[in-house]
Amino acid sequence: MTKAPSLIDSHGRVLRDLRVSITDRCNFRCLYCLPETEAAQNFYRGRWANLPDSQPIAWKWQPKSKILSFEEIERVVRLAVSLGIQKVRLTGGEPLLRQNLEELVARIARIPGITDLALTTNGFLFPQKGPALRDAGLRRISFSMDSLDRANFQKITGRDGLEAVLQSIGLARELGMHPVKVNAVIIRGINDHEIEALAEFAREQDLAMRFIEFMPLDSARAWLKELVMPGREILQRLQARHTLRPAPRTNPSETAQRWSFADGRGELGLISPVSEPFCGHCNRLRLTADGKIRTCLFSVVEHDLRTRLRDGATDADLIAYLQSVVLQKEDRHHIGEPDFVSPERSMSCIGG
């Protein structure tokens, strides 16, 4: 295939990172995404006399007929790579719920030009699927783990799954995946008291821990800025306990401000999209499980690629469409501004 021009938006940003959601379904019910559990309702009721009047985000699962096939996903990724995409991350929902995922991983791993193929998962099913994914070509993985306390983990996720996630982290290391990252969404009043413990876990296990600010992507529309633990505050807490050294920033599009421990074991990262947006260097594009292109995690517009895929569009047609969509990429999100509007779909439906 002839090398096509790169994906460049109207603000001069060159897109190199594609997030591919392969399912909108999830086996967890996290407070910050699909807060359907009694624990979630009790938490939010404790902060409002009445729950917000706004309607919950529509997150009805898409029928199988609307979910992209492996062949369709592979085609989109191949075209995106021809346009300069280098990094591909598979997400969900929970991607390990997709049957025969290792087949898709193998397809994508064979595409020339991809320098980084990764997966984000809650880890619950990884013990059964990890070896096959490694053998298919997966080399990097991120796990979601918001608590080291079994009861609090269940309160946050709606699932008694802490031991399974810890087992998965150990297995990923045994399989030689590197780096193994662990993501923790910090919510004030829920797990902010565990920040130090999570950091110590990262040092002891020689892992990369990412602390992520609570974002307005929950299906209950219950997000409040007062529940956000700013990255600066998290960092101050960690620096009071540990001697931390700033890690060199090799890529301006990195979402995390990274720090290393004095003994060289483990790494901490702060992802602060609410208090310190990094939109100016954003180089990401998202493909939802049902074939929509999103130019920002907080976009209120989705671009229909699935219809074109299934109506006989040529590769040249799809390339032209992708380039036209990228030109519409937003300059920034508007969290905290008076005109901010939450996306119509929650994180599980969008893809992380």
Residue percentage of the chain with pLDDT more than 70:
85
Q: How confident is the model at residue 332 (pLDDT cuts 50, 70, 90)?
A: confident
Q: What's the pLDDT tens digit per position in 199-225? A: 999 999 999 999 999 987 655 566 678
Closest of 224, 208, 317, 187 to residue 266, by C-alpha: 208
> Distance between CA atoms of 161 and 76, rounded to whole angstroms?
34
Cβ neighbourhood burial of 324 (10 Å; 0-12, 13-18, 19+): exposed
The two tokens of residue 75 are 């085609």
Mean pLDDT across 73-88: 98
Distances (CA, A) of 222 to 31, 51, 227: 9, 8, 10
Cβ neighbourhood burial of 65 (10 Å; 0-12, 13-18, 19+): exposed
Strand partners, 228: 187
- The per-residue pLDDT of the chain, averaged, comes to 88
> Distance between CA atoms of 261 and 304, rounded to whole angstroms?
45
User: Is cis: bond before 273, omega within 30 of 0?
Assistant: no
Query: Residue 137: pLDDT above 80?
Result: yes
Instruction: Say whether 140 sits in a helix, a strand or coil.
Output: strand
> Distance between CA atoms of 173 and 178, rounded to whole angstroms?
7
pLDDT of residue 98: 97
> Distance between CA atoms of 94 and 228, rounded to whole angstroms?
24
pTM for the predicted model, two decimal places: 0.90
Mean pLDDT across 101-106: 98
Q: Which domains does the chain have, with CATH numbers?
A: 17-350 (3.20.20.70)
Q: What's the pLDDT tens digit per position in 295-307? A: 988 787 899 999 9
